[in-house]
Structure 1
């Protein structure tokens, strides 16, 4: 069963807990479709099944708490944690993904946490990687809260408002909204994979250069 059908099949009161749980686990570092869960819940809110305000609050809480737990895990585990995860889950935590995420942190600093909320693959890295790189918690918390509020609250509000305006076409829009969410997620994944591949090539080039530099010089034999 797809996540959108699953959410629509649970009692209305459980939708809030389910949204908070899925988004919290994704923010903690577990690859789950948090964006699709949020869009599905917001569409339910536009039909009057659940409250849009509570959907937004639960999504924001899940995002902030999940990221904070991920930060704590990353701070305790450090980079060896990512190396271990990379061996077990190379598609999500491979060296190229980690290198790309690290470069984003080096370029943007604390705002990598904020902008990472809007990029599917970086979203699962943001909290744990910020902890592993020893980012000061107060900086992480500011970016974490702002990112959670803008992403979760903004997505809920946007989908809810569009759903209310287009209520007569809501059944069609439901599929369109989900397809758009999947398309955005797929583009984000492609973008991050492309950056990860570039980072991997750069690392290989650096390693090759170091190997050449470290190789002992070969001297020509002295002439008789």
Structure 2
């Protein structure tokens, strides 16, 4: 069963809780498809009135901020042994190379790594725990975490919801729009074919005229 089909079977409150929980667990450091869940739920909200996009965005923001904060605390308490354990449990996401890349990003960009990490799948999982392991001051982490969560979750819902509404309105008008498009396409194809046929005929006439003007000289 696809995620969208499954979400359609549960009440709106459950959708909010599921979105917040999945995003929270992903932000905490567990590799889950938080972004896919959020986009799918937002598209569902654009087509079903019982799901409020504002509540959905609030649930996503809360999950992102709380999950990252818990991940930070776990990372600060667990330190490097935590990353080693995550590497054994989730080698695809927490390999030594991935950890090293994330550490370089944090050392170079600091708070910006936490903020923009929200928009990058790999750093979204790393941001909280790694900021704690690297002992980033919590006030810096908190500011970047809250702002990143608001911009990422709120922005994603706003953009996808708007796109979904436009797509829904377009699909409602597709019956006559499709007919108009088909007629225009057919007319354009006909004119193009006539133009190409006329051009080909002119080229043939030009070649024939050129052959008559320059006859091949006779040979002895």
> Is TM more than 0.5 here?
yes
Give CA-to-partner distance per residue, 1:115-166, whole Å, 9 cap, x none.
1100011100000000000000000000000100000000000011111122
Q: Is the 8 A contact 1:115 1:147 kept in 2?
A: yes
What does residue 144 of structure 2 align with?
143
What does residue 131 of structure 1 align with?
132
Give CA-to-partner distance per residue, 1:161-181, whole Å, 9 cap, x none.
11112214569xxxxxxxxxx
TM-score by length of 2: 0.74
**Cα separation, partners in 2 of 1:170 and 1:101, compared to 1, 3 Å:** farther
What does residue 108 of structure 2 align with?
107
Q: Is the 8 A contact 2:4 2:44 kept in 1?
A: no
CA distance in 2, matches of 1:67, 1:170: 39
Give 3-state SS (helix, strand or coil) of 1:90's partner. Answer: coil
TM-score by length of 1: 0.73
Give 3-state SS (helix, strand or coil) of 2:8's partner. Answer: helix
How many residues are treated as equivalent by the alignment? 171
**Cα separation, partners in 2 of 1:87 and 1:170, compared to 1, 3 Å:** farther
CA distance in 1, matches of 2:90, 2:162: 38
Give CA-to-partner distance per residue, 1:159-214, whole Å, 9 cap, x none.
1111112214569xxxxxxxxxxxxxxxxxxxxxxxxxxxxxxxxxxxxxxxxxxx
CA distance in 2, matches of 1:108, 1:4: 36
> Where does the alignment leave 5 or more consecutive residues of structure 2 unmatched?
173-220
CA distance in 2, matches of 1:77, 1:28: 13
Q: Mapping of 1:30-179 within 5 angstroms?
A: 30-47=30-47, 48-169=49-170
Give CA-to-partner distance per residue, 1:91-111, whole Å, 9 cap, x none.
111111100000010111111
Q: CA deviation at 1:50?
A: 0.3
CA distance in 1, matches of 2:86, 2:163: 40
CA distance in 1, matches of 2:32, 2:171: 25
Please provide the CA RMSD for this pair. Answer: 1.4
Give 3-state SS (helix, strand or coil) of 1:49's partner. Answer: coil
What does residue 9 of structure 2 align with?
9
Higher-Rg member (1/2): 2
CA distance in 2, matches of 1:71, 1:170: 44
Q: Is the 8 A contact 1:4 1:36 kept in 2?
A: no
CA distance in 2, matches of 1:16, 1:54: 7
CA distance in 1, matches of 2:110, 2:74: 19
CA distance in 1, matches of 2:116, 2:131: 13
